Chains A and B, each alone.
Chain A
Amino acid sequence: MLDQRLNDARKPTEEQPGLRNVMNRVDAEITVQVEGLRREFDSKEGKVVALDGVNLQVRKGEIFGVLGPNGAGKTTMIRILSTLLLPTAGKAGVMGFDVEHEPEKIRAVINMASGAERAGYDFISARGNLWFFSQLYGIPTEEAHRRINELSDMLGLQNYLDRKFYALSTGYKQRVTLVRAFINDPKVVFLDEPTIGLDVMTALSIREYILKQAKEHGRTILLATHNMAEVDAICNRVAIIDKGKILACDTPAALKRSLGAPSLVLEVSPIPAPGSLEPIGKLEGVKGYTSSVDEERGLSRIQVVVDGDGSAQSVVDSVRKSGMTVVSNWRQQATLEEVFVALVGRGFREREHEAAQ
């Protein structure tokens, strides 16, 4: 039911040619602009480059996804755009204001929420916390309560507003965080992993809320996430980021279409040893692969991005030659993860593993 509502909410931006044309117009209003953005951090090992010459343009009313594995630079970008952090080089602007020189003007038109950080005083009620944050924006108390009620209604939070913040579950704390992110009627909202760690139903209702905010109020939303389903469900456009660089930027559908052939999925047994799948990546016509382990079934699932049927067959042959049994295999329409695999040669998990090492 909720899924259906999400799909319905997305329809105009995907299917109405008129709106698509508006979104694609060169002169469409740019609300977030990033040019050659670079950010370095000092660490014990030397300089770490979190963002490396990023260029982006986000248009008014757009839900723009920034998709990448942990450590790709998504949060750094949001911290810069929300004026918490200064860039090392390059330019970033929101609503035409420069993040470095005009932070106060930006602060008046933005807000930000992070799934990992749920801001609030534990011993004050959810309503009290929201009222406090509304006052930072100079909203009269009566108007503040009207907005709190309206936004809480949309997220099913109304019955929990008088509970102390600490007594709320993770999901409800996150709803409070999302009400706070829109309390000042912002023109641009930065959301960093807003559904991380939440159950499916809560995540769906939050996505629906985000869609409504963009569609009905014309807000621009920049959504940093590593959740591909989320990007697929609600983003008009998405930039794929890895190691601080934007690798591709387009609509999710266009990115998937760009892969051409459907990808190959293999379930193999026994679970391959580390490094034993590397020959797959070297086969002709293979753009990249990612694998995961199904402990319960004692097998490994390998997703391979291939350029055609011939290369798919050579992957199957290669796996068999290496002593593994192909339990099942099929072709499937490409997902955003496979777009990432095609661009990087590795999946999110492998990238995060490499980063951790």
Chain B
Amino acid sequence: MSLRAMVASIRVGWYREFNWTNPLTGFSLRTVGPLASVIAASTVYYVGSTNNVPPSFEPSRLAYILIGAALYAHVAAYSWVPTLAIAEGKWTYVFPQVYISPHSSLPYLTGRTLASFVTSTMTVLVSLVLSFYVLSSVFHTNIPFMVNPLSVSLLFLAMLVNIFAALGLGLLLSAYALFATKFEWALPTYVAGLLMVFSEALFPVSALGWPLSAIANVLPFTEFMRASRQAMIQGGTVYSYFSYLGLALLGGIVVLVMGFLAFRYAENRARRLGVIDKKTA
């Protein structure tokens, strides 16, 4: 029963992710965002570092930023889908209907998240490849990427493992969205901003100083970024990759369990308050 609900939700989520238009148009539009952020972040670094006296440009740093910006956009794109599905679902009254069908809320939110994961993975990989070629040719530099079947497979494995953490974060945020009447639309944006700082997306978390660096170090998203860089940037090792991946998995499971518990608590509280079917501002 729940599996059917999840598969149906993936299908609905697929259309929703492409803004209800045809997949080609939707895919093109969805690629613009991550592509622009990857190129913008990389260009800022390139221009800043080459204008330093003496110039401090390092191709490996460019590769670091490129991977970080692309994968940050990936995580930010799909981890907030459960919140969106609830906030939007209250408006369309779809969510209350999902809620009163047996054992459907979590399969629904998971299905919507998985649909977004698939579309986001496709768009991020395309934007990663495109920005690699654009930046290589514009900056006339050799970005030290490892692009082979093994490195791409390892990157994909890291992205799969990160689903646990992203879904967990999504459930934590949606727990709030269940009974919130304010800010539930904007909350994921705030959290995404924090994630950019704390997940080693653009700079090492050691730059944050203690205790912020300690917090950032235990986040599964940070380990996911590190594992992905080990897979894609020259100089990475298989041992480091799997160490980071293991920590990402462990942290992801912890976040997922926290998200699940928070969601269950919020469901009960929202039912008590009578806000599961309440439209919000």
A interface with B by C-beta (< 8 Å): 39, 41, 79, 82-86, 104, 107-108, 110-112, 114, 117-124, 131-133, 135-139, 180, 184
Contact = CB atoms under 8 A, between A and B. Distances in A.
A132 B12 contact: yes
A136 B7 contact: no
Nearest to B104: A136
B93 A117 contact: yes
A124 B274 contact: no
B103 interface: yes
A79 B277 contact: yes
A136 B2 CA distance: 7
Nearest to B272: A86
A122 B9 CA distance: 15
Interface in B64-105: 92-94, 96-104
Contacts of B98: 136
Contact of B102 (A79, A108, A124, A132): A108
Interface of B is mostly: helix
A121 B4 CA distance: 18
B108 A136 contact: yes
Q: Which 7 A-B pairs have the closest CB atoms?
A: A138-B1, A135-B8, A123-B20, A136-B101, A119-B93, A117-B93, A107-B102
A108 B94 CA distance: 17
Contacts of B271: 83-86
Nearest to A141: B4
B276 interface: yes
Contacts of A184: 101
B274 A121 contact: no
B27 interface: no
Nearest to A133: B97
A41 B274 contact: yes
Given A119-B94, A135-B7, A138-B5, A84 B100 contact: yes
Given A117-B93, A119-B97, A124-B15, A136 B276 contact: no
Interface of B: 1-2, 4-5, 7-9, 11-12, 15-16, 20, 92-94, 96-104, 108, 271-272, 274, 276-277
B20 A112 contact: no
Contacts of A139: 4
B101 A121 contact: no
A121 B92 contact: yes
Interface of A is mostly: loop
A90 B140 CA distance: 75
Contacts of A110: 100
Q: In this complex, which of A84, A107, A122, A135 has the most chain B Cβ atoms within 10 angstroms of its Cβ? A: A135
B12 A119 contact: no
7 contacts: A85-B271, A86-B272, A104-B103, A119-B93, A124-B15, A136-B104, A137-B1
Contacts of B99: 83-84
Contacts of B8: 131-132, 135-136
A180 B92 CA distance: 15
Contacts of B97: 112, 119, 133, 136, 180
Contacts of B9: 132
Contacts of B92: 119-122
Contacts of A135: 4-5, 7-8
Contacts of A120: 92-94
A135 B2 CA distance: 9
Given A84-B271, A86-B271, A120-B94, A137 B12 contact: no
B93 A118 contact: yes
A111 B100 CA distance: 8
B100 A82 contact: yes
A303 B277 CA distance: 38
A82 B272 CA distance: 13
Contacts of A122: 20, 92
A127 B146 CA distance: 47
Nearest to B6: A135
Nearest to A85: B274
Contacts of B11: 132
Nearest to B274: A85
B100 A83 contact: yes
A39 B16 CA distance: 37
Contacts of B274: 39, 41, 79, 84-86
B241 to A, nearest CB: 38
Given A83-B100, A84-B274, A84-B276, 18 more contacts: A82-B100, A84-B100, A85-B271, A86-B271, A86-B274, A112-B97, A120-B94, A122-B20, A122-B92, A124-B12, A135-B7, A136-B97, A136-B98, A137-B102, A138-B1, A138-B2, A138-B4, A184-B101
Nearest to B96: A84
Nearest to B12: A132
B106 to A, nearest CB: 12
Contact of A112 (B7, B12, B100, B102): B100
Contacts of A118: 93
Nearest to B107: A136
A121 B100 contact: no
Nearest to B277: A84
Contacts of B94: 119-121
Nearest to B97: A119
Nearest to A137: B101
A285 B186 CA distance: 61
B274 to A, nearest CB: 5
Given A119-B92, A120-B94, A133 B276 contact: no
